[in-house]
């Protein structure tokens, strides 16, 4: 998807993120049904604090939720997990690196989805390869 140097809108980035999920293997897509995916320009101060960052330009994505591997059958009434993409830091990274925007979005979505599954970094790389 081509964009001028202003980068994609929130709606365009949301569409890109949803396209990534649609291309994941079925066994992963089925377990991501409850996840809410959101695109915002920047992380909130609370979100930054949760990952021990202070610079809003450093965070491109965030998973908020309990990993499937850490859930208990006794838990109920939990808020749905969320994957956040932060548009302005992603645009800044796109401008700095020249990496295609859809590749950046893909990487962040898969990395954050990996947290949902309780994956290691190696597992996340494997999942990213499977989404090709």
Asked if 61 contacts 85 with a C-beta cutoff of 8 angstroms, the reply is yes
Query: Which single residue is written with the structure tokens 């949803």?
Result: 18
30-47 pLDDT, tens digit per residue, is 888 778 999 999 999 999
List CB contacts of 11: < 8 A, sequence separation 6 or more: none
Q: What is the pTM of this model?
A: 0.84
Strand-pair category, 82-86 with 36-40: parallel
pLDDT of residue 83: 95
User: Which numeric CATH code is attached to 10-69+79-130?
Assistant: 3.30.2010.20
Q: Return the number of other C-beta atoms located less than 10 Å from residue 120's C-beta.
A: 9
What is the tens place of the pLDDT at every residue in 99-123? 999 999 999 998 898 888 887 777 7
**Over the stretch 15-74, which tens digit does the pLDDT of each residue have?**
999 999 888 888 888 888 778 999 999 999 999 999 999 999 999 999 998 777 776 655
Q: How many other CB atoms are there within 10 angstroms of residue 31's CB atom? A: 14
Instruction: Give the residue extent of every domain in the chain.
Output: 10-69+79-130
Rounded CA gap, 52 and 49, in Å?
Answer: 5
In sequence order, what are the beta bridge partners of 61?
85
């Amino acid at each position: 998807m081509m964009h001028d140097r202003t980068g994609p809108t929130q709606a365009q980035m949301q569409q890109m993120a949803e396209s990534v999920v649609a291309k994941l293997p079925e066994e992963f897509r089925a377990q991501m049904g409850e996840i809410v995916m959101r695109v915002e320009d920047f992380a909130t101060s609370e979100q930054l604090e949760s990952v021990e960052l202070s610079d809003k330009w450093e965070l491109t994505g965030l998973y908020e939720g309990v990993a499937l591997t850490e859930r208990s059958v006794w838990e109920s009434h939990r808020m749905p997990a969320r994957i956040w993409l932060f548009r302005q830091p992603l645009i800044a990274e796109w401008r700095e690196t020249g990496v295609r925007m859809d590749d950046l979005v893909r990487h962040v979505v898969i990395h954050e989805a990996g947290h949902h599954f309780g994956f290691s970094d190696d597992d996340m790389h494997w999942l990213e390869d499977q989404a090709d």
